[in-house]
Structure 1
C-alpha cells in the first residue's frame, strides 16, 4: 500500500518473527525503553501511545542540566485515564534521541514537567511518536522508526517494565490505604457518643458496603403490617426518627422486600427495635459457620 503524501524513499516499518527472538513470552508488559534527553541517558522511559503529551517527571528533570532551554508555565491541566487531574509545573522543548551513535534519530519535542510520584522517569506520548515517525509494538517489545532509508529499532526492557509495574501497584495500594484513612475522618461523620446517640451517622460505600445474596428463583415477600399498640408504636416511631436522622435508613416509595419491626425487651427495661427478616433469611444461602440466631 502507498500512503498519500508519504515519501517514496522512506523505509517500510514492519514486525516479524525475528523481532521476538529476545522477548520473554508470554507477557503483558508495557514498553519501557532507554532514551537520551538533552545529554542524559534516561532509563525507565514509558512508551505510551495513549498519552497525548510527553511527560518528564520533576524528580528526573531536576537532575538534568536544562540551561539554555526555555521553561514556560503551563495553565492547562492533564487528565488521566481514570479522570484524575494533574497540574503540570512547566513545559519545555528538549532534544530527544533514540538509537545508537551509528544509527540514531534526534527530534526537538515538547515535554511537560509534572511534579507527581511515578515509577517512570519519562513518558513518550503521541507527540514524540509522530515526530519520530515511530511505530511501537508492546507484543514485540520494540519501537521502530525510520532513519533515512533505513529502520532503527529500540528494544524494550522487560525486567524494568515489570519492576515499574510492581512499584506502581504498591504505590496505588498505599494511596488507597491513605485515602481510606482520610475517608474515615472526612466522610464518616462520627463523634464522641453521648447517652442515647447513634454510634455512626453515615458510612461511605467506599469503606463498607453490604449486599444480599438471594437464591435464584426467590420471590420478594411483603409482610402484612403489624400493630403493636399506642405505647410500642411511640417507641418504634422515635427509634425510626433517630435512624433516619443518623442516615442509617432512608425512605423508599416502592419496596420489593417489606419486613415488620420487632420490639425486644432489654435488660435495662427499655426496648430494642429489630427487624423480622425470617422471610428474607429463607431466600438467602445458609451460613453454616455462623451460630447467631436469626429473628
Structure 2
C-alpha cells in the first residue's frame, strides 16, 4: 500500500529558526541537494564502497540547537566532549547565552596547547527534519579558538542518540520510530587550498617555462597582500613551532611592572598584532615571558620579549644566522 504524500507546510517567518552559517569569510561552502533520507528498516547498514568513491572530507552536518539552525557542526568520534566555538556562541540569542555557567576544566590540543574554557552551556539539539529526527540535551564547552566549524558533536552524544557515523561514506545514520534516518555530509572547500591547487595546475601546464615565484592568496579579503604583510596567514600556508627539549620544565617569569609610558606602548603594539590576526588571546600557565621595551632612534618604542629561559630549553640551531653588521 502506497504511503500518502505529505506536502511541505509553510512556517510563519517569526517561528523560523535563526540560521548560523559561517563566520570565517575565507572559506566557501557547497551543499548537496539531498542531505537526508528515511528508510523503513531496523538495522543500520552502509552500502558497499569502492575505493575511488569514498568521501574525502570530514563529516559535517546541520543541527537545530535551541531554536537556531546551526550549520558546519563537525561529527567527531574522537572527541570526548561537545564543543561550541565562541564565534558561534556570540550569535546565539541573549537569553540562551545568559545560561552559560563557569567551567572548571581545560582542553589540551594535539600540539599540547592548553585552552581554558569560557564556560559550558546545556542546549537542546535536534538532528533531522520535522518528520524524522532525534533530539538530545548536549552539554557544550564554549571555546575561544579559530576553527572552520561552529561546533563539534563528540563521542558521548553520538552514543546517546545511538548514531553510527561513517566518514568514508560521508553519512550519519541513527534510528527513529519506524526506521533509520540518513544524514549526508555537507561539503566544505577551503578557498586557500583551492588557490594552491589552481596555482600548481597552472605551473604543470606551463612546465616548459621556469617560474621563479608564484603568489598564493593569504586572505580572500586581502588578495594583494604578500607574506611580508603577515595578516591572518592560515596555518595551511605557514606555521611555526618551538622544538623544546623534553627534560626541561616550563618556566614562568615573575611579572615585571612597566612604567605608564611603556605599558601604553605595549598595549598599542599588541593590539596591532591582534587586529592583524597574528596574535590571539590565550591563557598560558606553562611558559610565561616578560616584554622588554627598547627605545628606537626616532623616540618610539620597540617591544621585545625576554626569551632567555625559553632559549635555554631549545636545542642550539645547527644553522646559525651569519654575522649581520
Name the TM tier (shorter chain).
0.5 to 0.7
2:190 to 163, 167, 172: 163
Aligned to 1:97: 126
Q: Aligned-pair distance for 1:138?
A: 0.2
- 5+ residue gaps, structure 2, are 1-40, 194-217, 219-232, 244-277, 280-288, 290-303, 321-325
Deviation track 1:247-279 (CA, whole Å, cap 9, x = no partner) reads 9xxxxxxxxxxxxxxxxxxxxxxxxxxxxxxxx
Q: How many residues align?
A: 185
* Alignment RMSD: 4.1
Alignment of 1:109-120 (within 5 A): 109-120=138-149
Deviation track 1:23-65 (CA, whole Å, cap 9, x = no partner) reads 9835432111111111111111111111011000011011112
- 5+ residue gaps, structure 1, are 1-9, 190-200, 211-246, 248-295
Q: Aligned-pair distance for 1:171?
A: 2.7
Structure with larger Rg: 1
Q: Aligned-pair distance for 1:115?
A: 1.4
Alpha-carbon distance in structure 2 between the residues aligned to 1:51 and 1:74: 18
Q: Aligned-pair distance for 1:172?
A: 2.3
Alpha-carbon distance in structure 1 between the residues aligned to 2:130 and 2:312: 63
Alpha-carbon distance in structure 2 between the residues aligned to 1:13 and 1:24: 23
Alignment of 1:1-295 (within 5 A): 11-17=42-48, 25-65=53-93, 67=95, 70-158=99-187, 160=188, 162-163=189-190, 166=193, 171-173=234-236, 176-177=239-240, 204-205=314-315, 208-209=317-318
Distance 1:173 1:149, change over 3 A: same
- TM-score after normalising by structure 2: 0.48
Instruction: Select between 64-73 and 40-49 the one with higher mean Cα deviation.
Output: 64-73
Distance 1:75 1:164, change over 3 A: farther
Given that residues 55 and 167 in structure 2 are in contact (C-alpha distance below 8 angstroms), is that contact kept between their aligned partners in structure 1?
no
